Structures are given as C-alpha cells and as structure tokens.
Structure 1
Amino acid sequence: MLEHRSKPLLPFHLFLLRWLRYLIFSLLLIGCSLGIGMAGYHYLNDLPWLDSLLNASMILTGMGPVDALKNDASKWFASFYAIFSGVAFLSTVAVFLTPVVHRFLHKHHLDQDKP
C-alpha cells in the first residue's frame, strides 16, 4: 500500500493519486457515519430527514445536537452515536492525513541516509 523505507520516494503525481484514493475512502467513512446518524435520528426521534442530517452532522463534528430528544430510545442512540462519532471523525482525519505524514517521514528518512 505504501512504499517501504528502502524504496525511493513516490513521484508527486502518483502521490496525488494515492491521496485521492485516501480522500475517497475518508468521504465514504463520513458518509456511512452520517447515514447511521440520520437513520437513528429519523426512526428513533421521528425527525424529518433534513433535520436528521443536521443533527447527525453536528454530532459528528463535535458541536452537539440541535433538536431535543423525545424519548429514551433516542437518548440512548444519541449517547452511543456521540461516542462513535468522536472515534469515527478522528479516524477519518487520520486516514486522510496518512499519505502526507508517510511521505514526510519517508522523505526525512531518505534525507538521513544521504552522506
């Protein structure tokens, strides 16, 4: 997946293609996370889809819910979705930044090996 430290640095255009793949995967993770949140808010709290998207987006980014929760099931869901969202958001950022950090460390390692 990523070049070994003994290999030369990947050409920049191939690096950009790699970063694009990681970006697409990150967007899929965010999309799936939003889908889970939207479904939970829609079915458990009887919110319209747009309001469910708003609540899921706000929770996923760490800003908190917008609408009041109407029943215990929606409160349980919101609690677990908030925990899941914290991990999912940070994991997505890590996935997105992996190629950049790897390239930086790889270049740093190659520079150290030069006499």
Structure 2
Amino acid sequence: MAVARRRAVTPAEARRRFARNLARALAVWLGLAVVGMAIGMVGYMATEGMSAIDAYVNAAMILSGMGPVDQLKTEGGKFFAGSYALFSGLFVVIATGFVLAPIFHHVLHRFHVEQGKNDDD
C-alpha cells in the first residue's frame, strides 16, 4: 500500500505558521491572565472590602508570584489569598505551557523530529 506524502512546506510558510501559532498561544495566555486577574480582584474586593485599584495590585502581585501588598484583616481574605496563591502557581505553569508549546514544536521541526518514526523506517 502506498503511503501518501505531504507537500513540502516552504520556509516562508513555516515562519507564517509558527507566527500564527505563537500569536494564538499568546492570545490564550492573555485571556487566561485576564480571567486570573478578574478572579483575584473580585475575591479581594469581596473578602477584604478593597477598592478596585488595591484589589488589582494585590491580585497582580500574587499572580506574578510576589505576594500580597496589603495586610489581610479577615479570615475569609486570608483563606482566599492562600487559595488564590495556589491557583496562581498552577496558572503560571499552564500559561507558560501554552506559550512554549509552539516554540518547542517549531524546534522539533527544525531538527526534523517526526512522530512515530523508527530508525528502520
């Protein structure tokens, strides 16, 4: 049985495809960051009664791994901050994966690594 071969991709097409995939990954990262920030801001505003700008600063600092800026006063706020910090740690790993996936994929193509190929193929 004959194996169908794919059409060769030109370097220009490969660059365009890589740029498109990277832009899509960055858009997903940005969307996740906006959702993560919104969760943090709403949580701080609800549990600590912070203003929007104070909630923004605290959410941004925890999401980036720096820690809260303001002293937390309520038990609910402390529980939220701890939970949000755990969420943020996972968020950073997942978001980084989205951005790095097209880069790793591109590198594998540059080295001509093909999925499912053995030395005897």
Tell whether the structures are fold-level matches, with TM greater than 0.5: yes
Which of 64, 67, 80 in structure 2 is aligned with 1:64?
67
Tell me the TM-score normalised to structure 1 length.
0.85
Q: Which runs of 5+ in 1 are unaligned?
A: 1-5
List per-residue Cα deviations over 1:47-74 (Å, max 9, x = no partner): 0001101000000010000001110001
**Greater helix percent: which structure?**
1
Residues 1:41 and 2:52 aligned together: no
Determine the C-alpha separation between the residues in 2 that align with 1:8 and 1:52: 52
Contact 1:37 1:56 in 2 (8 A): yes
Q: 1:95 corresponds to which letter in structure 2?
A: F
With normalisation by structure 2, the TM-score equals 0.81
CA-based RMSD of the aligned residues comes to 2.0
Alpha-carbon separation, structure 2, partners of 1:71 and 1:7: 62
Q: State how 1:10-89 maps to structure 2 within 5 Å.
A: 11-89=14-92
Which amino acid is the alignment partner of residue 75 of structure 1? K
Is the CA contact 1:55–1:65 (under 8 Å) kept in the aligned structure 2? yes
Deviation at 1:106, TM superposition (A): 2.2
In structure 2, how many angstroms separate the alpha carbons of the residues matched to 1:97 and 1:7?
26
| Residue 92, structure 1, aligned to residue 95, structure 2 | yes
Do 1:30 and 1:89's aligned partners in 2 also have CA atoms closer than 8 Å? Answer: no
Identity %: 36
1:8 to partner: Cα distance: 5.4
Aligned residues: 107
Residues 8, 34 of structure 1: CA spacing in aligned structure 2 closer, same or farther, 3 A cutoff? farther
Deviations 1:46-103 (CA, angstroms, capped at 9, x unpaired) = 1000110100000001000000111000110001000000010121111111100111
